[in-house]
Each structure stands twice: as structure tokens, then as C-alpha cells.
Structure 1
């Protein structure tokens, strides 16, 4: 069986699949367009375009790899055919998406999405398969907050892989995936602030992330529905500071809504 998407003979291939979009894109765009000053819409367009272009480098695979990425403004679909057990493809997808999320967040754009694994096909013209619909449902109905959540099938894969890492503590997924207060597993994208060569976190990026989230909390202080979503990011940010950083009180965010902390999946 082929392990690449073949446009000449389209077929469904076992793959890691991700669907994402930008939180509040419609609202952000409408607000920019209705400002009296036309420069506001132009500035928004330039900021969005530049941010998406920079972030796309994180998820655009090497041309020699079979992975495919399709981006249409705020909608992103990734398909990566699985060659063996899926650990490499799943892990690489997590790393790439964490970097993508972080890059957009540092520009004030926050992502919601879903990741699954199963049958999928995509090329330049077509994206199709049960996991496309699964990840779309995860994004639109399950994620709720600005987080990229995992399907049950992806959870089961990680549980299986973790048994090979002494209960999970030595697993690469130990830092990459968190379990939220509602039991959903989501991508710990702030882990992308870590300099792997030096083994330390980039505190400048943590500070920028803090500023962007604080600004969103201020902007949506009178809109409880959106305020709660950005408060989720603030709570996640503060958990990350407590769990992964040392003496990081100055980097934490004052949030109007307190939520229960997530936890690492092997504990």
C-alpha cells in the first residue's frame, strides 16, 4: 500500500491529521473593517498576512517528506501519512504545530484545533477522509478554548507509546501534551519557547506572550464569552510558568477568571 498521497490514484491512507483555525477571526476582521479610519483595516491585513507567512514556516514540511499542508487564511489542514507505528509522525506534528501556535500567539492571534489519526487523503485540489471531519468536529465542538485537542485515537496511541518510556516521564510527549480540567488532552504550545540546544526557556518570548494575552483580556473585558476564552489562555500561561519555569512570578498574568490547572498526562 502506498504511503504517499497520489493525485493520480487518490486513496485514503493512514495519517496524522490536524485541522485548526484562528480564534475570533471573523470578529477581529469585522472590527478592523468597521473602524472609521481605513488604515485600521490595512494594518490588520498586513499584520495577519505577515504573521501567517512567518508561522507557516513552522508547519511547511521539507519537500522530500510526504506530509501535506493546506492553508486558507485562518483555516489550516495538515496530513502526514504514517509509515510505521505513527510515533514519529505524531511527535513531529506536535512540535510543528506548537511552533505554529506560538508564532501566531506572539502576534496576538490564538489557535483552536484538533488532531487525530486515521484514513485521510489530500493534495492541491482535494482534502477528504473521516479524520478531516473528526478534527473539524474537535475544533468546532470540543476545543472550545484556544487549544488544539487530541482525538481518542491519538490519546490511545500516546498511551501505548508511553508504556515504552517507564510510565511516560521519559516520553517526549510528557512535556508536549497536557490534560485539561475537562479531561481533554491538548498541545502544550508554550513548550516551543524552549531552546533545545541550551535546555532553557526563552523568557523574552514568555513576556511577549504575557503582553498579548493581557491585551486581549483588556480588549474583551466587557464580552464575557470571549473574555472566558482569553482567561483560559491566561490560566494556561500561569500554569506553564509555575510548572516549567523558575521564579517566574513576574511573567504571570492577572486574570479575572480563575480555572483549574491542567496536568501532565503521566501523573
Structure 2
């Protein structure tokens, strides 16, 4: 017998969405600190969501009102339903990529000083106030947990194939040393090398000179990515990391 069949039509179904699954590196450790440190981290994360959405909306790009966020602990899901019309579909993809770029960019700057890792995928999904369900989420999660490794947000082939022939959207992508595509979030930066440098210093200050080889690798990846961007506009703010 189906649960509540008499009052529930069982008419929920999946549809095409673009989904970002994000993990903020180091949040779990911050949650184990004292009350004041936990409180600071929690409020930073909440404000990071608020400000990234506000900035995205101020760009006057239509389509932000139906973006859905879900935050649980150190994980964030950002979702947007895709139109069946090809031109609107590309706009939906751009809106999501821009929103996630704002989130990652703000996290790296000196108002927060955090690194983000994740995956973005396109596929079938169902989302409401209660649950998130679908293979698009599974693929985004798999990218984050098994492949991203560094503070980068990997793009699933389903995303790359949708934007391959749109020059504006391909600017949101970069191919890494391992031939995986990731979100080029500094594409939207106009420009603030000093904010990125100060944010990097915040990361180093929080670690207080003590970090494992794995953390060092992540810091190096972030440093090299930022420095490539700074080469073009704000070279004097290049990041540096001592061995």
C-alpha cells in the first residue's frame, strides 16, 4: 500500500536542472572550535549566501529569482531549472554559473577568506522544500567528492557540451593540468587583486603556519590560479606562499 495514496497524487517528477554541489574547505574543523569561532563561521556562511545573491541580482540579469539554495553544514547546493527553449536554456546556465562564480569569488576575498570545491552538472532533478532527488545531483556530488581535490568547481561534460559553441559562456571555463574543466570564477572579477591577496593572507593566518601537505597543495593550486588572473590586470598583488 502506498503511503498517503488517498491524499497524495504521487505526481512529482524530475526535470532538467543545472546543479552546483559545493563544499567549503575547513568548515568542519571550524565547527569543532569554541562557541565564538563557530558563531563567526556560521554567520560568515549565511552572509556569503546573502551577498552572492544580492550581487548577482544587481547585474540586472533576468532569472535569479528562481535560483534555489540549500545549505547544510559545510555543503551548499545551488539549483536552477532549465528552459526547454535553447536560447533561454543558455541564459539559465549563464545565470547559475554567474551566481556560483560570485559565491566562490566572495569566499576567496578578504571579507571571508575561504576556499570552495565542488561540481556542476546538468540533468534530471526534483527539488522542493523537503527533498532534493536526481542523477544531476549525484554527478555534481561525485565531481566534488572524488575528482575536484583542489579548490576548484569541476564542470561535468553535460555542462561543457551545452556551452561549447557559446563564446560568452566558455569564458566561464578553464581546462586544468589534468584535462578537467573547472569554473573560471575570476572571469567575473572586475578587478580587486588586493582583496584576493588579503583573503589569501587570512587563510594563512588562520592556519598559523601549520598545515599538512594536502592543505599546502590546495593553497598552491589557489595561488597559481589567482596569479594567472592577476598577471593580466593586477600583477603587483600576486600571491606568495612559503614552503
Check whether TM > 0.5: yes
Q: How far apart are 1:91 and its partner, in Å? A: 1.2
Q: What SS does the corresponding residue of 1:172 show, helix, strand or coil?
A: helix
2:123 corresponds to: 118
Gaps of 5+ in 2: 1-8
1:174-194 superposed Cα distances (whole Å, 9 cap, x missing partner)? 432111111111111122222
Distance 2:81 2:50 in 1: 24
1:143-165 superposed Cα distances (whole Å, 9 cap, x missing partner)? 11111110111112222x24xxx
Aligned-residue CA RMSD in angstroms? 2.6
Distance 1:241 1:68 in 2: 32
Q: How far apart are 1:223 and its partner, in Å? A: 1.6
TM-score (norm: length of structure 2): 0.81
The 1:64/1:185 distance shift into structure 2, 3 A limit, reads: closer
Distance 1:64 1:254 in 2: 36
Distance 2:63 2:94 in 1: 19
Gaps of 5+ in 1: 1-6, 163-170, 195-200, 258-267
Q: How far apart are 1:64 and its partner, in Å? A: 8.3
The 1:45/1:185 distance shift into structure 2, 3 A limit, reads: same
What are the residue-to-residue correspondences of 1:151-230 with 2, within 5 Å?
A: 151-159=156-164, 161-162=165-166, 171-194=167-190, 201=191, 203=192, 206-217=193-204, 219=207, 221-230=210-219
1:54 corresponds to: 51
Distance 2:134 2:36 in 1: 41
1:77 corresponds to: 77
Q: How far apart are 1:227 and its partner, in Å? A: 1.6
Distance 1:94 1:69 in 2: 14
Q: How far apart are 1:229 and its partner, in Å? A: 0.6
Deviation >6 Å, runs of 4+: 59-64
Tell whether 2:28 aligns with 1:26: yes
Count of equivalent residues: 225
1:99-147 superposed Cα distances (whole Å, 9 cap, x missing partner)? 1111222211221111111111101111000011110001111111111
Selected match of 2:107 from 94, 104, 125: 104
1:36-63 superposed Cα distances (whole Å, 9 cap, x missing partner)? xx54444444444433443354578989
Distance 2:242 2:119 in 1: 27
1:77-116 superposed Cα distances (whole Å, 9 cap, x missing partner)? 1222221233111111111110111122221122111111
